Structure 1
Amino acid sequence: MTETASTTTAGQGVGESARRPDAVLKVTGEFAYASDLWLDGMVWGVTLRSPHPSAWIRSIDVGPALTIGGVLAVLTHEDVPGVKFFGLDRSDQPVLAIDQVRYQGEPVALVAADHPETARRAAAAIVVDYEVRAAVTDPRQARDVVRHQPVRRGDTFEAEVVVTGEYEVGMQDQAFLGPESGLAVPAEDGGVDLYIATQWLHVDRDQLAPCLGLPQDKVRLTLSGVGGAFGAREDLSMQVHACMLALRLNRPVKIVYGREESFFGHVHRHPALMRYEHGATRDGRLVYVKADILLDGGAYCSSSPAVVGNAASLGVGPYEVPNVRVDAIGVYTNNPPCGAMRGFGAVQACYAYESQMDRLAEACALSPVEIRVRNAVSQGSRLITGQLIDAPAPLAAMLRDLESMPLPEGPPATEQLALPGGVSQTTHGESVRRGVGYGVGIKNICYSEGFDDYSTARVRAELVGGEPHVTVHTAAAEVGQGLVTLQAQIARTELGIANVTVATADTAVGSAGSSSASRQSYVTGGAVRAACEAVRKRFDGLPAREALERFGPIEETREYRHRPTYPMDPVTGQGDSHTQLALCVHRAVVDVDVELGLVKVVELAAVQDVGRVLNPQALEGQIHGGSAQGLGLALMEEIQVRDGLVLNPSFTDYLIPTILDMPPMQTRILENPDPAAPYGLRGAGEPSTLSSTPAIAAAVRAATGLRLTRVPIRPEDIALSQETVNTGGF
């Protein structure tokens, strides 16, 4: 790309806060989400789910459901037209339960009816004879391992200062606002068209086609409006069920989950049990780290192997450590399936290693910032896997930057609304203590460990009404992150044409991979840029209008791949497993009512290196949003599972941060370009989720004097433990 082309924009190009094309529709409530889909003649599908986490299925009697008026079909595993299993990493998940169920909520049968309430009544009328069996719900007792990934480096595991700790992370839900939904339409060629809210159109298709007994070209997917994702839409939910019913009835079938069913219908963040031991010199230089990380993958594999790989390779954080012994293990249980969620294995490890760094700081009589600065990686450092950090990684400077940012004024607030608990406060602030904490996180960007990670873009330039116009077509899922805006920004920048349309994503163009791993700006952005460069080359040096008048429409399709990655060695964990790494550091200020156990986050401050800012406003939103999800994990978000049963599948009982919980944020965004990435960018969607959780937990510890080794921190963890501290009891 020439210097002139890279700097010439046509308004709202790269580097500007371009407005989202769907912004007004979303604000006014006119945007069409997948749950709004409608087609004349469509019928409604409903899924019957297991009430047990573990049981044999002795029989299924669908007769009572078929007698209900308006019921058009009832399907079981016997009606699956093709392969009966699917899965992201391994095809281990049945389309419908065959002879057993492995988690509460597993799909057992399908009903189609002329009204959703009729379909629900019919599903409830199906008689399933279950033989309940003992469920494996404690991952420490699990015998089936999804993946064990060790990391071995060095042989010195003695030090002057040693701190140990055991940590736990609860099961977090992605809690997107738009539940799973889609519309399957049978086609005249015997195939099916599926309009779906998803993160990964082509992999959905690749799993669907074998189950439907159809070739891939007869299974066509089009992206519908997506109401958030955060990883939970990477796996199939209702896709295959809607298609089965549509093909059976030769009628359009719509399935929309309610909120409770959504909790059972998608994967969650892996709960984790972790034991860490850090050894250091008396002046705080790390000598070794030992870590055991146990991740509960639930009933099916999903993306657990990759989550385990991330937890292992990033398991000690962005610190120089010459000696390492890490073991990350993912296991099967009869708990709900777990898979991708923002941060993807790195979140759990980050909470533990950052808690350890605070303990080490205390043991070495250093500040939380100083202990981190003394051990910070930089460009030229190596990860514990031996991979060279060959791009800017100014962690020490970021920490000093963060430390220098002004703190909120004054002691803990005394005004009722500003107190922890707000107007529900009963102690009027006399037991409120303030604390400050820090957190650092490192996250891999793009797919890792040899995955063929690429994206495809088709760009067409033509005259429309006498004016140059560009259409960008990719299969990349817009799930709220702003990719639809960025694709247009890149086209305007590269072609100098203001009028750009981003076509609806579908499988009629080559794969773009998943909208996950903070990768779409990198790979789909790279593909759009490459296709635009190919179009511009065909302008033959002429201005766009003149070139299109002379040559007519110009269309080019390009794939973009990042540099190769390699699997971690199964014994040593060594290998260049990642494409790019991103850093974020957080400082949290909290007020804690130590009698009531209530916490209010007063302020969050963050410093993040993004390589290059492509859309300032969207970027800031990503940092705020990631920080909010980290706050939720720190203080409130947890799916409560007891004996394999989910106790809180609703937004009444599963709490997520609201605007009243999210504090003001100071952000400082650094631009240190990565020379290997398009525009020098660095994926920015996930890193802030990592470091906000341990920063908030550290601040609560500072306010209370408690160890607090589990997130989310519950009120009783503070109030009851504080009582023990005050009385000297046990």
Structure 2
Amino acid sequence: MTHTAVSQGVGASTTRPDATLKVTGEFAYASDLWLDGMVWGVTLRSPHPSARIRSIDVGPALKIPGVLAVLTHEDVPGEKFYGLEHKDQPVLAIDEVNFQGEPVALVAAEHPETARRAAAAIVVDYEVRQAVTDPAKATRVLRRQPVTKGETFVADVVVTGEYEVGMQDQAPLGPESGLAVPAEDGGVDLYIATQWLHVDRDQLAPCLGLAPEKVRLTLAGVGGAFGAREDLSMQVHACMLALRLNRPVKISYSREESFFGHVHRHPARMRYEHGATREGRLVYVKAEILLDGGAYCSSSPAVVGNAASLGVGPYECDNVDVTAIGVYTNNPPCGAMRGFGAVQACFAYESQMDRLARACGLTPLEIRRRNAVKQGSRLATGQLLDSPAPLAELLERLEALPLPGPADDDLRSMPGGVSQTTHGESVRRGVGYGVGIKNICFSEGFDDYSTARVRLELLNGEPHVTVHTAAAEVGQGLVTVQAQIARTELGVERVTVATADTSVGSAGSSSASRQSYVTGGAVRAACLAVRERCKGLAPAQAVERFGPIEETREYRHRPTVPLDPVTGQGDSHTQLALCVHRAVVDVDTELGLVKVVALDAVQDVGRALNPIALEGQIHGGSAQGLGLALMEEIQVRDGRVLNPSFTDYLIPTVLDMPPMQVEVMEFPDPDAPYGLRGAGEPPTLSSTPAVMAAVRDATGLDLHRVPLRPQDIALR
């Protein structure tokens, strides 16, 4: 096949097709879905974190004009439970509720306000129980995963620390929303903002009592995800109502309901002990990591596996004794969020590396350099790093980046900003570093693959390529990358990426920084198959001779294995990625206010398929890590969420994010398509400990919990 030069292929910073629509507010998100004749669904949720249900009286709701249906667990047409890894979560509460916000009943009405009033009119008689909210006292274990190797647990220098990570929310731009439409064949078509179309379908179909082929999902506009959309939320509820009424039903959560309607990042309590030689070489690491999984399983077992396997970080250490445990409580369910267990562990082990540096009289960078992994190193799990792991080079590049100049008198650059809380009298500057290692793609033996269908044809006399996958575009730029691959492999400028749906084979989840790897690999494989059928002819000539050419291919990465349940040894990960951060902060030590002055990052990405989109991912991940360090926490007291709104749950704005120097390094992975290395999650790991290290440097305080609170500094 004769290649034609393309300007928007792999390696180019191409324009995203959804970019203009999103910045002008014209993009159609799932909450914008509309169909004539549709009705509105609303969910009644439990006000209690733990209670028995004595009775549910739906009569008052049914008496309200405009109410069309009220459903409880008795109306679930199929299986009454679903779940990502274990089917332990009820479609609607049966005889008990296990967290505040658990769905209890559904209402459909002609108007959303009518549906909300009707839901409030349902009378539920609860027998409130004592909630289990302290994970240290929980007795139901989701997973316990040790990682052990070596026998030497004595050293010249020993540092210990206890660390805590609060419950972070994914805070997606768009709350959960979808539209279910009953079909003539007795099935249902669901238009939904999700991360994983096929697993949604496979959970939905048994609950609806339908064959999988009768449950068809099409991706609607997704306003961010970050793990919040891996689990079901309103999917089954909208479908139940649509099938009951034989009418389209839309459910769209409010922001407050969204906080209750999806999983969050696992809060963690961690105790670490590091032993080293006097020269700062690691001898051993011991750790206990406790993760609060909340009321239901979700993806907690996999999160526990990640925390355990990556619990030592990207450092060489021959003796390891790490145990990660996830438990059930009556707190909100926790599951996938960007970083997936590695974030919590990274905060602890990086805090420990700073402690170790001080104890050994070394700089934070030097202690990390002396213990850095490299190609040929083995992780705590025994897994060989058989592709580039250039941590020493990343640290060298980070150190070479220029530091910001001294603070000026502009109030906007002061902690507290234009509120004039300070004029610099008690402001101190600090510098801190963070290093993180993150697995890419699914791990521990999961059958991780993606499917792509590619069609080459002539439209208006010009060659045109259509790429069709079920991969969810959740804002990461995947649609752009798929088109770039098709242009590169087929030499055709005009490429359309079809809307993702379940009419093509599974593409897995848009999580684990995996889609460029596996869906990119599938698109490339399908394009190569099309190119083979072109028999060396240019695209237009091939279609003229052979007619439209279409190929479907699956792509699988190299296999992984589950961690040994006793030793934690095993090649559990496909690919590993490294990112390093340097943070510079100004801290008002009297008021406890922090201004991040600079947050610089260096990351190895294997190969940059779209440099500008890649840099955006690094900025975004760094922002979420900054948020976890300084402001983002779902406040839970006695199992009740106290701040389910953006008034009280704070996320970084453009005023909180500093300028970033971003250096992208490219050390290709020979086992990955184009040599790429998943890049979306690693910045979320190392940014948090870098910011906290900088605050410690400015204040001299031993800070061990994120997010940091003003009283942690000011009241000392």
Q: TM-score range by the shorter chain?
A: over 0.9
Where in structure 1 do 4 or more consecutive aligned residues deviate above 4 Å?
Answer: none
Q: Which residue of structure 1 lines up, in the alignment, with residue 535 of structure 2? A: 540
* Match in the other structure for 1:108: 104
The partner residue of 2:313 within 311, 317, 322 is: 317
1:260 corresponds to 2:259: no
Is residue 293–residue 327 contact of structure 2 (8 Å, CA) maintained in 1?
yes
Native 8 Å contact 2:415 2:422 kept in 1: no
Q: Which residue of 1 aligns with 2:42?
A: 46
Tell me the distance in 2 between the aligned counterparts of 1:434 and 1:97: 52
Structure 1 alignment gaps of length 5 or more: 722-730
Which position in structure 2 is the counterpart of 1:74?
A: 70
Pairing 1:452–2:454 present: no
Partner of 1:670 in structure 2?
665
CA distance, structure 1, for counterparts of residue 629 and residue 502 of structure 2:
39
Counterpart pick for 1:279 among 245, 253, 275: 275
Q: Secondary structure at the match of 1:491?
A: helix
Say if 1:150 and 1:327, in contact at 8 Å, map to a contact too: yes
Of 20, 31, 37 in structure 1, the residue corresponding to residue 27 of structure 2 is 31
Q: Which residue of 2 aligns with 1:331?
A: 327
1:216 corresponds to 2:212? yes
Please report how far the alpha carbon of residue 24 of structure 1 lies from its aligned counterpart in structure 2 after TM superposition: 1.6
| Unaligned segments of structure 2, at least 5 residues | none
Match of 1:438 in 2: 433
Mapping for residues 173-188 of structure 1, pairs under 5 Å? 173-188=169-184
* Counterpart residue number, 2:551: 556
* Amino acid corresponding to residue 350 of structure 1 in structure 2: C
User: Is 1:469 the counterpart of 2:441 in the alignment?
Assistant: no
1:366 aligns with 2:362: yes
- The residue number in structure 1 matching 2:567 is 572
- The offset of 1:527, in angstroms, is 0.1
Question: Residue by residue, what CA displacement relative to the aligned partner does 1:381-403 show, whole Å, maximum 9, x if unpaired?
Answer: 00000000000011011111111
Q: What amino acid sits opposite 2:181 in the alignment? A: V
State the distance in 2 between where 1:188 and 1:11 align. 45
Q: Which amino acid aligns with 1:554?
A: I
- 8 Å CA contact 1:9–1:494 kept in 2: the answer is no
SS in 2 for 1:308: helix
Determine the structure 1 residue equivalent to 2:655.
Answer: 660
Q: Identify the residue that residue 197 of structure 2 maps to in structure 1.
A: 201
Q: Distance in 2 between matches of 1:29 and 1:632?
A: 25
Output aligned runs, 1:362-401, within 5 Å.
362-401=358-397
By how many angstroms is 1:414 displaced?
2.9
Give me the TM-score of the superposition, normalised by structure 1: 0.98
Does residue 710 of structure 1 match 2:677?
no
Whether contact under 8 Å (2:416, 2:422) holds in the other structure is no
User: Alignment partner for residue 516 of structure 1, among 508, 511, 516?
Assistant: 511
* Residue of structure 2 equivalent to 1:587: 582
Query: Aligned equivalents of 1:426 and 1:273: distance in 2?
Result: 33
Confirm or deny: 8 A CA contact 2:414 2:422 kept in the other structure: no
Q: State the shift of 1:573 in Å.
A: 0.1
The letter of the residue matching 1:347 is V
Contact kept, 8 Å, 2:53 with 2:95, in 1: the verdict is yes
Deviations 1:218-239 (A, max 9, x none): 0000000000000000000000
Amino acid at match of 2:235: Q
Aligned partner of 2:6 among 7, 10, 16: 10
Give the Å deviation of 1:425.
3.0
Work out the CA distance in 1 between the residues paired with 2:326 and 2:233.
22
Structure 1 distance, partners of 2:661, 2:300, is 34
Q: CA deviation at 1:23?
A: 1.4
Match of 2:142 in 1: 146
Distance in 2 between the 1:566 and 1:417 partners? 51
Query: Offset at 1:493?
Result: 0.2
Local SS of the residue matching 1:555: strand
1:724 corresponds to: none
SS at match of 1:232: coil
Structure 2 partner of 1:426? 421
TM superposition shift of 1:22: 1.2
Distance in 2, matches of 1:576 and 1:363, equals 33
Residue in 1 aligned with 2:224? Answer: 228
What whole-Å deviation, never above 9, does each CA across 1:295-318 have from its counterpart, x for those lacking one? 000000000000000000000100
Residues 144, 332 of structure 1: 8 Å contact kept:
yes
For residues 603-627 of structure 1, give each alpha carbon's deviation from its aligned partner in whole angstroms, at most 9, with x where no partner exists: 0111100000100100000000000
* Pair 1:487 & 2:472 matched: no
Q: Which residue of 2 aligns with 1:631?
A: 626
CA displacement at 1:257 relative to structure 2: 0.1
**Kept after mapping to 1: 8 A contact 2:604/2:667:** yes
**How far apart are 1:413 and its partner, in Å?**
3.4
Q: In the alignment, which residue of structure 2 is the partner of 1:725?
A: none
Instruction: After TM superposition, give the deviation of residue 52 of structure 1 in Å.
Output: 0.1
> 1:118-152 CA distances to partner (integer Å, 9 max, x unpaired)?
00000000000000000000000000000000001
CA distance in 1, matches of 2:420, 2:443: 47
Amino acid at match of 1:619: L
Q: Is the 8 A contact 1:299 1:332 kept in 2?
A: yes
The structure 1 residue matched to 2:59, chosen from 43, 57, 63, is 63
SS at match of 1:665: coil
Q: 1:618 aligns with which of 613, 622, 626?
A: 613
**How far does the alpha carbon of each residue in 1:48-103 deviate from its partner, in whole angstroms, 9 at most, with x for none?**
00000000000000000000000000000000000000000000000000000000
Aligned-partner Cα distance in 2 for 1:688–1:594: 28
Question: CA deviation digits over 1:384-443, x for unaligned, max 9?
Answer: 000000000110111111111110012x33321110010123231110000000000000
Shift of 1:598: 0.3
Query: Which residue pairs with 1:690 in the alignment?
Result: 685
Amino acid at match of 2:152: T
**Where does residue 417 of structure 1 map in the other structure?**
412
Equivalent residue in structure 2 for 1:128, among 101, 124, 130: 124
Q: Is the 8 A contact 1:9 1:492 kept in 2?
A: no
Task: Decide whether the 8 Å contact of 1:413 with 1:429 is kept in 2.
Answer: no
For 1:251, the equivalent position in structure 2 comes to 247
Partner AA of 2:305 in structure 1 = G
Task: For residue 297 of structure 1, give the secondary structure of its aligned residue in structure 2.
Answer: strand
Equivalent of residue 604 in structure 2, options 591, 600, 609: 609
Q: Select 2:403's aligned residue among 378, 400, 407.
A: 407
In structure 2, distance between residues paired with 1:327 and 1:27: 45
Structure-2-length-normalised TM-score: 1.00
Give yes or no for contact 2:451–2:522 (8 Å, CA) kept in 1.
Answer: yes
Match for residue 642 of structure 2?
Answer: 647
Structure-1 residue corresponding to 2:351: 355
Q: 1:9 offset after TM fit, Å?
A: 4.3
Cα deviation, residue 29, structure 1: 1.3
Offset from partner CA, 1:647-687 (integer Å, 9 cap, x none): 00000000000000000000111000000000000000000
